[in-house]
Amino acid sequence: MPPQHGAWAFLGLPVAVAVTVSPRSALLLLLAVTWIAAYPASYFLLAIVRDRSSRHPDPGRFTRPLTIWWATAITCGLALLAFRPWLLWIGLVYAASFLVNLAFARRRDERALLNDLVFIVQCTAMVAVTWAVAAGGRSIVPPPLADIPAHVWVLTVAVGLVLIGSTLHVKSLIRERAHPAFARNSRVFAALSLAGSLALAGWWGLPAGAPLAVPYLWLAGRSFAMRGPAPRPGRIGMIELVGFVLLVAAAAVAQAWSQTGE
């Protein structure tokens, strides 16, 4: 298993949020397995690329997990393609973005902020992809963007803001802790995200959209409260996870209130 524990939360958040506004479909479980398996499959491929650029390469130690996860991801992915052929084009887009990750792995610079942002975009896009899998058909052409409901786009932006803010905050406490300017920028982004959540609530439609501001209130609070010596990584991760769970809960409540109003 990849040792990047925070990545699992990044993978799960967009799918969990999208489920709150998507039609019920058994394909969502297949999509979730494919999506989750694709992460360790890509992780161990990047590990081999990174290891080959080291002084003492030993790519053999990554071969077994690479085989297991790629077999899982490809098998589930092909089954999903049988029901949603248009996912082929989405997969090609993701493959193209993965080339950026490969380039950073070759340079042994996977912690670069730009590389993190590519991963965030990959995760954020899964909100719309998840909804489309649940609501779409067997056409070879992806559903038109105009057919995606406004609530899905609201949650796509909401997930993007949370993932960017979380990345900046965690980096400010660990890898960039020696740079006060990075921490200040992280807090500024948290404050702007809180203000932006009010716009998202309005875009969703008030009063049903009001719960969407709650996660950003928590995340802004933790950004300004966590100063001085950095807590242990486990505690940092749990605090971030609370914010993620709050966003999923807020999306579910907003959707329930919207349906009640209808």
Tens-of-pLDDT digits for all 262 residues of the chain? 777 778 899 999 999 999 999 999 999 999 999 999 999 999 888 888 877 665 556 656 788 888 999 999 999 999 999 999 999 999 999 999 999 999 998 888 888 899 999 999 999 999 999 999 999 889 999 889 889 999 999 999 999 999 999 999 999 998 888 888 999 999 999 999 999 999 999 999 999 999 999 999 999 999 988 766 667 888 899 999 999 999 999 999 999 999 987 5
Longest dimension (CA), the chain: 63
CA distance 67 to 74: 10
CA dihedral 54, 57, 63, 69 (to 10 degrees): -10
**Domain at 1-142: CATH architecture:** Orthogonal Bundle (1.10)
Q: Where are the domains of the chain?
A: 1-142, 149-262
Nearest to 197 by CA among 207, 218, 212: 212
pTM: 0.92
